[in-house]
Amino acid sequence: MSVMPPLDSSRTLDVSLGPQHPSTHGVFRMNVTLDGETVVRLQPVFGYLHRNHEKIAETHSYLAAMPYTDRLDYICPITNNWAYALAVEKLAGIEVPERAEYIRVIVGEFTRLQNHAALLGFLAGDLGGWGTALLWAFRLREKILDLFESLTGARMMANYMRFGGCRCDLPVGWLEAARAVVRDAHGQLDELEALLTGNEIILARLQGVGALTGERAINGGFSGPVLRASGVDYDIRKVDRYGIYDRFRFRVPRGTAGDCFDRMMMRLLEARESVGILEQALAGIPEGPVVNPKAKQRGLRPPAGEAYGRIEGPKGELGFYLISDGTDRPYRYRVRPPSLINLTLLEELCIGTKLADVMVILGSIDIVLGEVDR
Amino acid sequence: MNEQKTSRWSESFAGRLLSGLRFPGAGLVKGLAVTARNFVGSYFEKDRLLTELYPEQRPRLPENSRSFPFLIYDGNDPEAGMRCVSCKICEKECPPQCIYIVQDRDAAGKALKRPRVFNIDISVCMSCQICVEVCPFESIRMDQVFEASSYDRFGSLVLTKRDLLKSNEYYHGIHPTEAAETDARIEADRKKKEAAAAAKAAKAAETAKAAAEKKEAPAA
């Protein structure tokens, strides 16, 4: 972080952006200091959506914290469930049956697909192209949410993962419906790509804006598509190979410039890779139990110790750090939220850009305030 | 960017024609062509029209869909057929603590196996279904009503026992598969209990008989 020269307050103007900003990212406020239209200082203000998630989880049983994790990143609740279940499984040493692992990969990749599709729409909305791109993205997202509803009972607040598997088996006909959605997804992503990637206005607004080097991204603790857009080859699905990700063939796309355009393209390419993983997983899903019958859900008392479970969430590394003291509730429960940590360099990305670029940079980072504030 | 895939749309005739365009603004024209294709297509392909006209068109909820909990009773009388035995496990496990139960007592003050008060505050409930999972008596299940908004925050959003009790037939109507599984499980449990009781009775009769024979033997 460069040392800022003292600001000449006769030349600058303080503008408070938010908290009710219509850019759909949530209740987030930025105190921006402007010199003309150029940003010279930016202070993020958050906490408007703080719900005391971590302390609430420490006063509840392990199972009762599961529905609260849905509310972290409410765009993709099932991956939150997965990260928490993974952490508890590590803590208590619970095995997961093979069919459950396949279902987890399928719903996880569907989550990534709909998150990335929604992000492309929101980003176009940040650019002022409100409507078309967002609704086309939501056309894909709604179909996936319908699948989630028929599987888990709720479109968003799924509460689906359990320790050692999933809550319920796939309903009759679900796999066929899922295959149909995956078949359609190709065409819908093609349309989004044709609409967005060649558009000269989008190119002018995104290319070269908010560029970040790979080294700086690593030092800032970035993860997920934002890190890979800066050219760093780091995907926890490849590094940790949690679950059964070593069985699927997929590529990890990387950017070169690390600017907003690379971040947008990263979402599009990752969505296509997700479709590839979905095709493989839907073809190979075996029969069997969906939850480990030995795993105790209610009144689970893991042995004293600590565990950190992490997954490659759609927004980055989502981790849960748990300490157990042998009782039925966690002694310490900590979330590593990708949205918050990817926000830390927001000021550095924005200084020197114009006011209108601030929304684009914020949109390209892809945050959800439910996860930032917790 | 590396690893850019060619899109299927660009392989179509119009796509090839448009992707051949090389002039400032060609990308915009291409995007507009996709929009126009969708607009015109919506007149011919019904599956492009996805909007549900909600109050007139009722949504068809999937079987697993859930909203708020309700209590099941068997038979015709809600009070007599109530499955809930007031064990209070759901009250204890509920993450946002929205269930309130008071056990019923008879005139002598002896605890009865049924709740006197069973309230669920659906303004607090987060529809997580954990009460359903922990209930050992198959008594609490998830409803599918979703138009629960009202002008009165405290009167109508706190559901009392009378609002919550719904018949097993209603449950079969909204979750047929799950309800059939539940009924099968209850039936199996009942048969097991009956068999155990019969075995116990038979054993008791046998021991009584043996004791009687023993008693008779020295007399003879």
Which residues constitute the domain of residue B77?
A: 69-183
Neighbours of A304 (CB within 10 A): 12
d(CA A49, CA A27): 7
Q: Which residues of B touch A187 (CB under 8 A)?
A: 8-9
- The CA distance from A348 to the nearest CA of chain B, in Å, is 24
What are the residues facing A322 on neighbouring strands? A307, A333
How many structural domains does chain B have?
Answer: 2
Whether residue B27 is contained in a domain is answered as: yes
Q: Which residues of B touch A136 (CB under 8 A)?
A: 38
Compare all CA atoms of chain A with the CA of B142 and give the residue at the minimum distance: A153
Q: Which residues of B touch A297 (CB under 8 A)?
A: 133
What DSSP character marks residue A7?
Answer: P
Compare all CA atoms of chain B with the CA of A57 and give the residue at the minimum distance: B95
The answer to whether B65 contacts A168, with C-beta atoms less than 8 Å apart, is no
Sorted by where each begins, the domain ranges of chain A are 53-373
Closest CA to A365 of A225, A247, A244, A221: A225
Whether residue B109 is contained in a domain is answered as: yes
Residue A321: its pLDDT value, please?
A: 93
Which residue from B1, B7, B65 is facing A256, i.e. has the nearest CB?
B1
CB A105 within 8 A of CB A246: no
Reported as a single tens digit per residue, the pLDDT across A21-52 is 555 677 888 888 888 888 888 888 888 888 88
Let me know whether B125 and B24 are in one domain. Answer: no
Q: Does position A111 have pLDDT exceeding 90, yes or no?
A: yes
Q: Is the dihedral of CA B26, A183, A157, A290 positive or negative?
A: negative
Closest CA to B138 of B168, B113, B102: B168
Let me know whether B41 and B97 are in one domain. Answer: no
Note the residue count of chain A.
Answer: 374
The answer to whether A198 contacts B30, with C-beta atoms less than 8 Å apart, is yes
Question: Region A332-349: what's the mean pLDDT?
Answer: 88
Q: Where are the beta strands (DSSP E) in chain B?
A: 69-73, 99-105, 111-121, 140-142, 158-159, 165-167
Which two structure tokens, joined as six digits, stand for A223? 């993860």
Whether residue B192 is contained in a domain is answered as: no
CATH architecture of structural domain A53-373: Orthogonal Bundle (1.10)
- In single-letter form, the type of residue at position B25 comes to G
Q: Does position A1 have pLDDT exceeding 60, yes or no?
A: no
CB A192 within 8 A of CB A117: yes
Mean pLDDT of all residues belonging to chain B = 81
Let me know whether B93 and B133 are in one domain. Answer: yes
Distances (CA, A) of A137 to A8, A182, A362, B98: 44, 14, 19, 36
Let me know whether B78 and B41 are in one domain. Answer: no
Banded pLDDT at B209 (limits 50, 70, 90)? confident
CB A317 within 8 A of CB A41: no
Banded pLDDT at B3 (limits 50, 70, 90)? very low
- Percent of chain A's residues with pLDDT above 70: 96
Banded pLDDT at A83 (limits 50, 70, 90)? very high
Reported as a single tens digit per residue, the pLDDT across A277-324 is 999 999 988 888 888 888 888 888 888 889 999 999 898 899 999 999
The answer to whether A159 contacts B130, with C-beta atoms less than 8 Å apart, is yes
Whether residue B178 is contained in a domain is answered as: yes
Closest CA to A271 of A156, A139, A111, A106: A111
Q: Where are the beta strands (DSSP E) in chain A?
A: 12-17, 29-35, 38-45, 161-162, 165-166, 305-313, 316-324, 332-336
The answer to whether B66 contacts A153, with C-beta atoms less than 8 Å apart, is yes
Whether residue B15 is contained in a domain is answered as: yes
Distance of CA A360 to the CA centre of its chain: 18
Chain B interface, mutation test: which of A59, A62, A193, most B Cβ atoms within 10 Å? A193
Let me know whether B33 and B136 are in one domain. Answer: no
Residue A109: its pLDDT value, please?
A: 92
Banded pLDDT at B17 (limits 50, 70, 90)? low
Strands A38-45 and B165-167: unpaired
Let me know whether B129 and B31 are in one domain. Answer: no
Residue with tokens 């993974």: A86
Let me know whether B43 and B73 are in one domain. Answer: no
Whether residue B156 is contained in a domain is answered as: yes
Closest CA to A80 of A315, A301, A299: A315
d(CA A172, CA A151): 10
Compare all CA atoms of chain A with the CA of B93 and give the residue at the minimum distance: A64
Distances (CA, A) of B65 to A254, B144, B146: 39, 7, 10
- The CA distance from A367 to the nearest CA of chain B, in Å, is 23
d(CA A360, CA A209): 9
Q: What is the CATH number of the domain that holds B107?
A: 3.30.70.3270
Q: Does position B19 have pLDDT exceeding 70, yes or no?
A: no
